[in-house]
């Protein structure tokens, strides 16, 4: 069987790294983008993928730069000969109350968390044929809930399902599917950042309100994303799937 090939943005940490490992286990080759300005070492993903018996190319990437995103997709084809799946996972999270919100902070957030998704899909679809699949990572912040002091993040994440629905319709004739994943609270470097997110104490407190009694793991989100790009979900497109341990369907008490 032909080996499938996936590009993943933000693949040096958290959900993106867990997805690279999930793909390795499933026999899918990975071209992962890492953001050099962040402290994550791409070698960790290379090592984990190798341990899982997979193939992975890690390349520097800035999703705010169209040329950089185009190059990631081109490298997938140059290195592995094809491109089947694209996962727009890279994300920025910053705290900014409305009255402190600068235009620059607003634009920087949308540039990564919404326009970056479009750039990733635009670059990948050029190389994709029948059976291609796109997945973007939204968030319950914006995708379901509001989040105080994070209006720019929530606005960007609320835009992601709309983008995915539209591309699902537009690309269906080419046999390419497009879905969004809406994670709840997942323990990763992003959510462990006490300055911009909940931090370890906030996550522990929030876990008490989650019906399954805990925050999620990156590999649990990765498992859903892998499914959404696989043949097992061949009739599933244009959907936004919440994965949150029951948090958003809980009756408030
Ligand atoms: P993370 O912070 O480990 O991953 C985000 C990745 O995006 C990092 O590797 C970072 O270097 C990369 N990135 C940031 N700016 C970039 C840029 N300009 N170009 C390329 N890459 C860039 O955190 P996590 O949680 O794994 O985040 C993955 C996605 O999941 C993000 O889109 C995030 O917003 C989303 N998410 C996370 C939740 C959580 O509770 N951890 C909840 C809901 C959504």
Say how far apart CA 124 and CA 159 lie, in whole Å. 20
Q: Are strands 133-137 and 186-187 parallel, antiparallel or unpaired?
A: unpaired
User: 176 C-alpha vs ligand 1 centroid, how far in Å?
Assistant: 24
Give residue 1's pLDDT. 78
Residue 19: inside a domain: yes
Binding pocket residue ranges, ligand 1, CB within 6 Å: 9-10, 12-16, 33, 35, 38, 40, 61-64, 89-93, 112, 137, 139, 183, 185-186, 188-191, 218
Indicate the Cα dihedral angle 197, 188, 160, 39, nearest 10°.
90
Of the candidates 159, 168, 120, 153, the residue with the CA atom closest to the CA atom of residue 16: 120
CATH code for the domain in which residue 84 is found: 3.40.50.720
109 is in which domain, residue-wise? 4-185+217-242
What's the domain count of the chain?
Answer: 1
* pTM over the 0.85 mark: yes
Give residue 253's pLDDT. 79
Residue 76: inside a domain: yes
pLDDT in tens, 73-84: 999 999 999 999
Cα 10 from chain centroid (whole Å): 7
State the DSSP code for 146: -
Residue 175: inside a domain: yes
Atom of ligand 1 nearest to the CA of 138: 44
Residues 134 and 167 sit within 8 Å (Cβ to Cβ):
yes
CA-nearest residue, atom 11 of ligand 1: 35
Print pLDDT tens along the chain (253 aa).
799 999 999 999 999 999 999 999 999 999 999 999 999 999 999 999 999 999 999 999 999 999 999 999 999 999 999 999 999 999 999 999 999 999 999 999 999 999 999 999 999 999 999 999 999 999 999 999 999 999 999 999 999 999 999 999 999 999 999 999 999 999 999 999 999 999 999 999 999 999 999 999 999 999 999 999 999 999 999 999 999 999 999 998 7
Q: Are strands 56-60 and 186-187 parallel, antiparallel or unpaired?
A: unpaired
User: 10 C-alpha vs ligand 1 centroid, how far in Å?
Assistant: 6
What are the two backbone dihedrals, phi and then psi, of residue 57, each rounded to the nearest 5 degrees? -115, 125
Of the candidates 102, 95, 37, the residue with the CA atom closest to the CA atom of residue 63: 37
User: 112 C-alpha vs ligand 1 centroid, how far in Å?
Assistant: 10
Residue labelled with tokens 């727009």: 88
Give residue 21's pLDDT. 98
Residue 22: inside a domain: yes
Residue 23: inside a domain: yes
Residues 244 and 212 sit within 8 Å (Cβ to Cβ):
no
Residue 253: inside a domain: no
Atom of ligand 1 nearest to the CA of 184: 42
User: 98 C-alpha vs ligand 1 centroid, how far in Å?
Assistant: 22
Residue 199: inside a domain: no
Residues making up the chain, counted from first to last: 253
| Continuous H helices in the chain | 14-26, 42-51, 66-80, 103-110, 116-125, 140-143, 151-171, 199-207, 218-229
For 78, the 3-state DSSP assignment is: helix
End-to-end CA distance of the chain: 52
CA-nearest residue, atom 43 of ligand 1: 139
CA-angle at 171, arms to 123 and 26, nearest 5°: 70
CA-nearest residue, atom 23 of ligand 1: 190
Residue 208: inside a domain: no
Residues serving a catalytic function are: 153
Residues 210 and 242 sit within 8 Å (Cβ to Cβ):
no
What are the two backbone dihedrals, phi and then psi, of residue 23, each rounded to the nearest 5 degrees? -65, -40
Say how far apart CA 244 and CA 247 lie, in whole Å. 6
Atom of ligand 1 nearest to the CA of 93: 34
Give residue 171's pLDDT. 98
Give residue 93's pLDDT. 98
């Amino acid at each position: 069987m032909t080996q499938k090939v996936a590009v993943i943005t933000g693949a040096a940490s958290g959900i993106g790294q867990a997805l690279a490992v999930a793909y390795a286990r499933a026999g899918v080759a990975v071209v992962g983008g890492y953001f050099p300005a962040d402290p994550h070492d791409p070698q960790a993903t290379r090592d984990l993928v190798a341990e899982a018996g997979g193939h992975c190319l890690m390349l520097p990437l800035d999703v705010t730069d169209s040329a950089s995103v185009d190059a990631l997709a081109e490298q997938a084809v140059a290195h592995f000969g094809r491109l089947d799946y694209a996962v727009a996972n890279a994300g920025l999270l910053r705290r900014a109350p409305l009255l402190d919100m600068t235009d620059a902070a607003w634009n920087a957030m949308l540039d990564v968390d919404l326009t970056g998704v479009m750039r990733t899909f635009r670059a990948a679809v050029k190389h994709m044929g029948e059976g291609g699949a796109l997945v973007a990572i939204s968030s319950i912040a914006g995708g379901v809930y509001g989040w105080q002091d994070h209006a720019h993040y929530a606005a960007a994440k609320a835009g992601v399902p709309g983008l995915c629905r539209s591309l699902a319709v537009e690309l269906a004739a080419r046999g390419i599917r497009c879905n969004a994943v809406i994670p709840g609270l997942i323990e990763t470097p992003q959510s462990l950042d006490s300055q911009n997110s909940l931090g370890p104490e906030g996550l522990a407190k929030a876990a008490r309100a989650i019906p399954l009694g805990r925050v999620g793991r990156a590999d649990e989100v990765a498992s859903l994303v892998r499914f959404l790009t696989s043949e097992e979900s061949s009739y599933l497109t244009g959907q936004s799937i919440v994965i949150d341990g029951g948090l958003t369907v809980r009756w408030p008490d």
